[in-house]
Structure 1
Amino acid sequence: MAPQTNVQPVSGHRAPLRRILVVDGSEVSRTVIRRTLEEALPDAEVLVCRSGGEALSLLDASPVDLVSTSLRLPDMDGLDLCRHLRRHKVSANVPVIVVSGDANARLLEGGFAAGVTDYFDKSLGYREFARFLRSFLARTAGLVGRILYVEDSATTAHHIMRVMKNHGLEVIHTQSAEQAFELLSLAQSAPESRKAPFDVVVTDFYLRGSMTGGDLLHAIRARLHLGQQELPVLVLTSAEEPERQIEVFHAGANDFVTKPVVEQILIARIRSLLTIRQQYAALRKQAEEMHHMAITDSLTGVHNKCHLLRQGERFLADRRNQPVSVLVIDLDRFKHLNDSYGHLVGDRILEALGGLLRECLREDTLAARFGGEEFVVLLPRCPLEEGCRRAEEIRQRIEHLYPEGIQVTASVGVACSEQHLHADLPSLLAMADKALYQAKQAGRNRVCA
């Protein structure tokens, strides 16, 4: 007699056409989009409607696999439509693509918060839109993600793992919450280059051992400080009482599936949580890029003056018991170079100097463009003599750089906190600037301290 499992299989049948709903207020756009998609996606059924209200009525009557909506509709905007879709069980997990020519940072953030799956820039044209949707449907036909699955029943684990793997998921299985927590801790503490984070945790709520599924949830949220977007958790539970299900959410779960598990429901829930995780990753990457732009000089790639002044004092304070050398580097006769070769060549010279500084300085060094052709470098654990030696190395490398085939030289002023224990950043910059003036007066292309 075959063992009883906690998975209800779905009977095999030929996969139906992928159904795409296009919502656009323009009749011309609807007609062209429909024709283009039907030509490019022969295995898809394309439905169209003109408003958010029509789209919601259609979805109540018949589910779809993907919704594409323009940002502006006659009765609501595309983000409002997405919010409505996310509130209804039948459409809560349907991917939503917003088509817009203005996907700025605020719109992206608001859209992801509303549940938008992705954006498409309509200025790229209808054919590119068809290619975009074809690629999107191909990616979502099978799931992509790394799942940590916690289940102490070998029979249940075998069948649910098979379901998840059949849908393209990478599954790491542990039989206890303790093992799962250890894996999560190791993944979080690994060096950035070796990180292999999990995308979703799927766990039974009532596990044998000293640590239950609920304890694991508390540990993920309170001890590892991983929020619901950073690491979504799906709980599998046999409890049908509302009080027990509320307990699952209070523990920190994103969602739950009741046993016996229905394959389609399990995969729909995992797909939804993977989308949350992907949106979080996209927002985090965007935030990191915006922060990088805010602290970086766009021309040279080194830090900008604002970042230097904001972080310089902290840089010194963190190294109060270590000598820090301050270098002020100024290109010689740069105005003459600009007048002779033009500002475009001048910009390329500055760009080359920025590249040289990024290449030859350590990661713990703070280098910034202070303004015009002047750069500042803060060297940690660097006494004055060593600072002068490093400055001379930089000066020589600049002299042999020949950007745009032009020989460029620089003068460098050096000051060190070792000789001025209580000096702040402006004072050290003033001393290094005074040394730079001496280098200029002595004939340029030299280092002075």
Structure 2
Amino acid sequence: MSRTYELDRAHVFHSWSAQTLIKPMVIDGAKGSYVWDEEGTRYLDFTSQLVFTNIGHQHPKVVAAIQEQAARLCTVAPAFANDVRSEAARLIVERAPEGLNKVFFTNGGADANENAVRMARLHTGRRKVLTTYRSYHGNTATAIQMTGDPRRWPNDGIATDVHHFFGPYAYRSPFWSSSEEEEGVRALEHLEATIQLEGPSTIAAIVLETIPGTAGILVPPGSYLAGVRELCDRYGIVFIADEVMAGFGRAGEWFAVDHWGVTPDLITFAKGVNSGYVPMGGVIISDEIAATFAERPFPGGLTYSGHPLAAAAAVATINAMADEGIVSHAAAVGEDVIGPGLRELASRHPVIGEVRGLGVFWALDLVRDRSTREPLVPFNAAGPDNAPMAELLTETKKRGLIPFVNMNRMHVVPPCTISEGEVKEGLAILDEVFTLLDRFAV
């Protein structure tokens, strides 16, 4: 047992974990699509860590930019202007939909969502926020209340005026839909009914992950986001698109909303903006909402907002993604390699119920019975009930692949830079593991 591991177990308090029940892998290094442990065993990273190393591990241009910035100016307070912060903001708004021209920088995605909601409430003079049950928005007070998954439950009550509704999920439709199109229509009818019952004049914002990520990579029906935009316009509600996970190439576009040509009022981001090399997040703000604070102070701020090391990493990341065609590569590898490869696995493994995704943002909905769509494990399963998913984790790691699993799903979310050969290496490992798991399916 290494000193690193011993010190971790003695002193590090880990997220979302019962501390004595975990055995964290010690990561000693990484490059591109791979990480390796302290014994030198290499693993293909099909998680992008927490879905943030969009540009891959240790991209030399980003590493160099951080080193150069550290030698020149490590830190500066947010009240001062700074060249890399200004340039990062310019590069971000250039890629955002037209009419969003300001950036408020944060330390990550959760505080981006916190501040976006604060902006919406102050802009509208209203309090309520609507979000979906199948969602994750962060671990700060309002963000965890907006979250729909079970991590919210122990935190219920720490913030107020947040209300949940059902978003579209055609494979497990809460609306008894028989098609993607019908699911989109019925989901919008449900949302409008929720707005009416909550009181349109009380609602400040609707907050949606453009493509819900941790909740299942639920690509919305084609009409849905445009319909949400129309409802927000009709009732004077701010539309906040949470692009923390889906943005910066993950879905094969700079922002996932570009797939549907929809312009939110606010966009939150983090993760892929600089691949998590230095913590950064932010809110991209529409001109209308920015004008609210032209002569009225915005009552929010962070000590490290637009930190120079993080901003330098963002500038280098965005430029490298543009220069190297990484966003278009993510779209192509998803359409030509990952999607077809996963669908081919599904054709041979009855444990795979549905394949869905875009770019390098995919999920496998795992089932015991394809005809009934019974999940492979129960909702929020733990202990023996979760044994099949625990086996999936163990067997993939044995074969040199780090998987992303949540409830009854496996997410395939490698770096946007992954090669065709690396995808096929990962798919071959999954083929072996699903052969073992097929015994759980009828």
TM-score (norm 2): 0.26
Q: Which has the higher helix share?
A: 1
In our comparison, the structure showing a higher alpha carbon Rg is 1
TM-score (norm 1): 0.26
